Amino acid sequence: MIASALISHEIIPLKTSHTGQEALDMMRDNNVLHLPIVNNRQLLGLVSEDDVLEHDVEEAIGSYQLSLNNPYARQGDHIFEVLAQVARLGLTAIPVIDYEDNYLGMISQHSLLEFFSKSFSFAESGSIVVLAMSKPDYMLSEIARIVESENMAILNSFITDEPESNQIQVHIKVNQQDVHRLLASFERYGYQIKGMYAEAEQSEIYQDRIASLMNYLNV
């Protein structure tokens, strides 16, 4: 999946002649805190709500000093790259340009989260197991072998770092709700189990997981 596949043309970019107040109104209407500034098809920058509030809202945004160094995604960038940049800069939207630097549209944080929630089995029935280990000990093939030995399948997995340590947490989504035998197998092979989230808890768990996804994939 590349950036061009998630472009939205529904959100109209700003012009340098728009006032700060008009920018705030458009941000509110589109439920974002960032909007691109475009002259014809040239991307001039990305203005944030904070940028507007630090200036006179009655002035044209073309006179503003922007806090962001014109972030953007190329149309062929992988969606993981886009997500990493959105997470790193704390963006609610990112403009997309083609290979001739022409503005194509923008990708909102909401559309990114919706894509990941639908594409990586977050809403599929099953359970989440969280394992803790050192980075050198991580082998997805070994973890998958243990899961498959219990007649289960991994639907999704990702890794998070534990700050200031050599430890990681491996989050595994499996396709069954009863994972007691799987947990026993992990313990038998020396894995440390940090948590298990079963079907009854998933609605709240997924909301937390998806809300944190930007940070998780930026490790």
Q: Could you give phi then psi for residue 2, rounded to 5 degrees?
A: -115, 170
Residues 88-131 have pLDDT tens digits of 999 999 999 999 999 999 999 988 888 877 766 666 778 999 99
Task: Inform me whether the pLDDT recorded for 206 exceeds 80.
Answer: no
CB 60 within 8 A of CB 15: no
| Overall average pLDDT of the 37-55 stretch | 96
Measure the CA–CA gap between 182 and 200, rounded to whole angstroms: 18
What is the enclosing helix (H) or strand (E) of 146? Answer: helix 140-149
Measure the CA–CA gap between 61 and 35, rounded to whole angstroms: 11
Pick the more confident residue, 215 or 68: 68
Write down the mean pLDDT value for the chain: 88
Q: Residue 170's beta-bridge partner residues?
A: 131, 159
Which domains, from first to last, does the chain contain?
A: 3-117 (3.10.580.10), 120-216 (3.30.70.260)
Q: What is the pLDDT of residue 212?
A: 60
Q: Is the pTM of this model over 0.85?
A: no
Nearest in space to 18 (alpha carbons), one of 80, 71, 64, 60: 60
Cα pseudo-dihedral 145, 140, 171, 212, rounded to 10: -150
Q: Which residues contact 1 (CB under 8 A, 6 or more apart)?
A: 78, 79, 115, 119
Q: How far is CA 150 from the centre of its chain?
A: 31
Q: Which residues of 64-96 are buried (b: 16+ CB within 10 A; e: fewer)?
A: beeeeeebbbbbebebeebbbbbbeeebbbbbb
Residues 62-95 have pLDDT tens digits of 999 999 999 999 999 998 899 889 999 999 999 9
Residues 4-39 have pLDDT tens digits of 999 988 889 999 999 999 999 999 999 999 999 999
| Overall average pLDDT of the 41-63 stretch | 96
Measure the CA–CA gap between 68 and 60, rounded to whole angstroms: 18
Task: Count the neighbouring beta carbons within 10 Å of the beta carbon of residue 183.
Answer: 16
Task: Inform me whether the pLDDT recorded for 203 exceeds 50.
Answer: no
